[in-house]
Structure 1
Amino acid sequence: MTHVAILGAGLGGVPMALEARKELRKEDKVTVISDSATFHFTPSNPWVAVDWRKPDAIKVDLAPMFAKKKIDFVHSAAKKVRPEQNNILLANGETVDYDYLVIATGPELAFDEIKGLGPHGGHTQSICHVDHAADSKLVWDDFVKDPGPIVVGAVQGASCFGPAYEFAMIMETDLRKRKIRDKVPMTFVTSEPYIGHLGLDGVGDTKGLLESEMRNRHIKWITSARVKKVEPGKMIVEEVAEDGSVKETHELPFKYSMMLPAFRGIEAVRDIEGLVNPRGFVIADHTQQNPTFKNVFSVGVCVAIAPVETYAVPVGVPKTGFMIESMVHAAAKNIRALIDGKEPRNEATWNAVCIADFGDGGVTFVAMPQIPPRNVNWSADGGWVHLAKVAFEKYFLGKIRRGVGEPFYEKAVFDMLGVHKVKPKAD
């Protein structure tokens, strides 16, 4: 019997567990470890923050679903991963031994790196976690009774820009529905060198599409922005020139603000030489295997990916659901290959696909591969994107509730574009 432990139960960890259970032998054991008893469909968080979704509508209880699939579940945070000893020390004092480990923790939110940022003692809201989004909804309820300026966007070092654009547009749509849009000046603040960069140097015409969307919605923007600090009702932002000098300093008043933070690896994996990079992200090759600890794999947002280029203001690289899905499939097949005495040869595609909902429309893009030059470099907008996001939410949550691990991103995207998958290397 081989024991595969999966640390994390989000958009990477849950599909990883289901795929591993399908790929491994019947006698092999799969254990998921998570600090949360529920799966949350993170892409729906912007809707929760404006009360278009209730938190419970995007949650799935993990223990009963895993039990049906003969997957063990441990509800505890990890205190420290110990790859030299092939075990994980848990916050509850227990230790879980493993033969293979898949790290799928997602990131730690680095609010503390900017004074006054974030919902925990800071002055800005967050949509990175369903609980943050639920708290943001309460603040939003008060805001719409007495509206004022909004500042929204992503700080330096952020790597997930799509939700910032989504939330800006969703808020704008909600304000128009309430007939109070005229009372709310909006400013989009981002570390990106231009609107629509997305951490990917743009995809198709995302620059033109998103700039046009912002102009149509009367949302001002500041790019190459470095947030210095946030005070009650005021954000200090430096607009940085290409040479790194400060072009202009802005003092932006707000009555409501949501800024995506930078990410880093969770404390349980940070500072482990050979396992993680200086930010605590797990080092993995295109087979998702760590080069130092060969029985450790990683999938999802916690994987270390180098930025597209070096900019005056740090800009990270996003990991979309489509990319994570390809990581999951490669990791599951490669662990099985190692169990069978073969070399891990299946490679993740690391393509990027995003459906960004704007409440009454949206933008979608496909980048294959995610880093240019690309074989597919496509983007589009329209009212159909909102409908596609709603349909995808229902489909994905239905899959998780049933414990179904078959891919969806792959089929939907390739059918839409009429292209064929580049298959991973065969064993």
Structure 2
Amino acid sequence: MTLPKIVILGAGLGGTIAAYEIRAAVKGKADVMVVNDSDDYWFIPSNPWVAVRWREPEAIKVHLPPVMAKKGIGFTAVGAKRVHPAENRIELNDGTSLSYDYLVIATGPDLAFDEIDGLGPAGFTSSVCRTDHASDTADAFDRLAADPKPVVIGAAQGASCYGPAYEFAMIVDTELKRRKVRDRVPMTFVTAEPYIGHLGLDGVGDTKGLLESEMRNRHIKWITNAKISKVEDGMMHVEEVNEDGTTKAKHDLPFGFSMILPAFRGVPAVYGIEGLTNPRGFILADKHQRNPTFKNVYSLGVCVAIPPVGPTPVPVGVPKTGFMIESMVTAIAMNLKAELGGQEPVEEATWNAVCLADFGDGGVAFVAQPQIPPRNLNWSSEGKWVHLAKIGFEKYFIHKIRRGTSEPFYEKLALHALGIRKLRFK
């Protein structure tokens, strides 16, 4: 008898753990296969460390084919050219097609550097969004340290990931101090957020106060409500707007080194498919992570469409943190198990947030339950312990991917951070 086929599109943080957890949930009732555009998994949260040579790229890489084979999961790194949900088919990059009974989309985002003239690795700014980007950024950082010049770091309009920008600004500050050149490097933080510490979440606890204080202590100036209009070689043009969207000031920021996080959009394989995606190419999903039009398509992670927490003068997206992604994975695994048993999906993801923002010599942690306000739990803290916790987090999670385990992690992290053993994020 031919078993139903579940295809997972993407093998980043969400797709990889989804493969493990779905396989464990449906074992014997369906075949599970992963389609990715690379043989390797990269631990993206460590990219800021790669960009200042605190990590080598190989240290955060997991070669997936042998792990997937050991777990009985099919795997191909050919990559997807286009999803055809009306036909239950994925068109692959080698010209072949792969049919499925259920599809789980976990592609992550397409990086929209091209939406701002001169932005990104193909232009004049660096990136930590991918590990190969971060490796190139390390070369640019070495040139900065050898020939100190002004630095501009931040997140562009429409970005939906802010933690790594704050992390990288602080890490750069720390490493420049270690190299004894910080006093020769003026730093400016540029962000679309309406205030420092907004994070796309309208703040968590006192992230505004904590991050503003940290930036003052490190002599980092900032511009909020910022639109980057254009980047030229050594010069960034930024428009700062008022609450009503009118221009407040225009800034021409000279730089010798810059890292700006871009806006995200859906990947080309899904972008513009009516009923599947929103206008930005993000996957539409109901409370069970299932697409309303194509009922056998689920989605998780950064590729999922989530509306902003509220209007802001400059567009600000909502981040999809690891805790939220892990809860999406569990909900999908349970819902697929139910569907294969002839039942309707009932599981819902617990959209809570846990974040460790490492600053190299300290850091800020926060827990939000739920991620989008109003919240039942709204907590943030700072200290050297965050830096140590981030190191432990990296080691544990990479080990988890290498072992192919589906055990949950982020709830344990939240409980450890809070020091509360009886709390459960349900």
TM-score normalized by structure 2? 0.98
- Correspondence list, 1:267-278, <5 A: 267-278=268-279
- Correspondence list, 1:256-267, <5 A: 256-267=257-268
| SS at structure 2 position matched to 1:308 | coil
287 and 27 in structure 1: CA distance in 2 versus 1, 3 angstrom threshold = closer
How far does residue 27 in structure 1 lie from its aligned partner after superposition? 4.5
How far does residue 351 in structure 1 lie from its aligned partner after superposition? 0.8
Cα distance in 2, alignment partners of residues 281 and 173 from structure 1: 36
Counterpart position of 2:147 = 146
Cα distance in 2, alignment partners of residues 66 and 261 from structure 1: 32
How far does residue 422 in structure 1 lie from its aligned partner after superposition? 4.7
- Please state if 1:116 is matched with 2:122: no
- Please state if 1:96 is matched with 2:103: no
Cα distance in 1, alignment partners of residues 6 and 78 from structure 2: 17
Cα distance in 2, alignment partners of residues 365 and 102 from structure 1: 29
Contact 2:352 2:425 (C-alpha < 8 Å) held by counterparts: no
Cα distance in 1, alignment partners of residues 415 and 139 from structure 2: 40
- Correspondence list, 1:163-174, <5 A: 163-174=164-175
How far does residue 415 in structure 1 lie from its aligned partner after superposition? 4.6
Cα distance in 1, alignment partners of residues 281 and 85 from structure 2: 15
Counterpart position of 2:5 = 3
Letter in structure 1 aligned against 2:98: V
Cα distance in 2, alignment partners of residues 167 and 84 from structure 1: 42
Cα distance in 1, alignment partners of residues 408 and 199 from structure 2: 25
Cα distance in 1, alignment partners of residues 333 and 241 from structure 2: 43
| SS at structure 1 position matched to 2:273 | coil
Counterpart position of 1:248 = 249
Deviation per CA, 1:22-62: give whole Å up to 9, x if none: 00032521000000110000000000000000000000001
Cα distance in 1, alignment partners of residues 263 and 270 from structure 2: 17
How far does residue 310 in structure 1 lie from its aligned partner after superposition? 1.1
Letter in structure 2 aligned against 1:29: D
Cα distance in 2, alignment partners of residues 139 and 314 from structure 1: 29
- Correspondence list, 1:1-400, <5 A: 1-120=3-122, 122-400=123-401
Letter in structure 1 aligned against 2:179: R
Letter in structure 2 aligned against 1:176: K
Letter in structure 2 aligned against 1:78: A
How far does residue 329 in structure 1 lie from its aligned partner after superposition? 0.2
How far does residue 209 in structure 1 lie from its aligned partner after superposition? 0.1
- Please state if 1:421 is matched with 2:420: no
Cα distance in 2, alignment partners of residues 366 and 10 from structure 1: 23
How far does residue 371 in structure 1 lie from its aligned partner after superposition? 1.2
Cα distance in 2, alignment partners of residues 134 and 204 from structure 1: 34
Cα distance in 1, alignment partners of residues 144 and 412 from structure 2: 41
| SS at structure 1 position matched to 2:86 | coil
Task: State percent identity of aligned pairs.
Answer: 65
| SS at structure 2 position matched to 1:333 | helix
Cα distance in 2, alignment partners of residues 366 and 27 from structure 1: 37
| SS at structure 1 position matched to 2:81 | strand
Cα distance in 2, alignment partners of residues 360 and 422 from structure 1: 30
Cα distance in 1, alignment partners of residues 417 and 134 from structure 2: 31
Cα distance in 1, alignment partners of residues 246 and 31 from structure 2: 55
Cα distance in 2, alignment partners of residues 406 and 422 from structure 1: 15
Deviation per CA, 1:74-124: give whole Å up to 9, x if none: 11121100000001000111111100000000000000000000002x000
416 and 382 in structure 1: CA distance in 2 versus 1, 3 angstrom threshold = closer
Cα distance in 2, alignment partners of residues 186 and 328 from structure 1: 39
Cα distance in 2, alignment partners of residues 300 and 409 from structure 1: 14
Deviating above 4 A after TM superposition, structure 1's stretches of 4 or more consecutive aligned residues are none
Cα distance in 2, alignment partners of residues 151 and 358 from structure 1: 17
Cα distance in 2, alignment partners of residues 368 and 245 from structure 1: 34
TM-score normalized by structure 1? 0.98
Cα distance in 2, alignment partners of residues 139 and 190 from structure 1: 21
Cα distance in 2, alignment partners of residues 113 and 330 from structure 1: 34
Cα distance in 2, alignment partners of residues 109 and 416 from structure 1: 31
Equivalenced residues, count? 422
Deviation per CA, 1:315-353: give whole Å up to 9, x if none: 000000010000000011101111111110100011111
CA RMSD of aligned residues (A): 0.8
How far does residue 286 in structure 1 lie from its aligned partner after superposition? 2.0
Cα distance in 1, alignment partners of residues 70 and 49 from structure 2: 30
Letter in structure 1 aligned against 2:121: P
Cα distance in 2, alignment partners of residues 129 and 371 from structure 1: 26
User: Which shifted more, 278-287 or 379-388?
Assistant: 278-287
> Which ranges in structure 1 are unaligned for 5 or more consecutive residues?
none
Deviation per CA, 1:192-247: give whole Å up to 9, x if none: 00000000000000000000000000000000000000000000000000111000
Cα distance in 2, alignment partners of residues 422 and 323 from structure 1: 11
| SS at structure 2 position matched to 1:404 | coil
Cα distance in 1, alignment partners of residues 189 and 160 from structure 2: 16
| SS at structure 2 position matched to 1:12 | helix
Letter in structure 2 aligned against 1:41: F
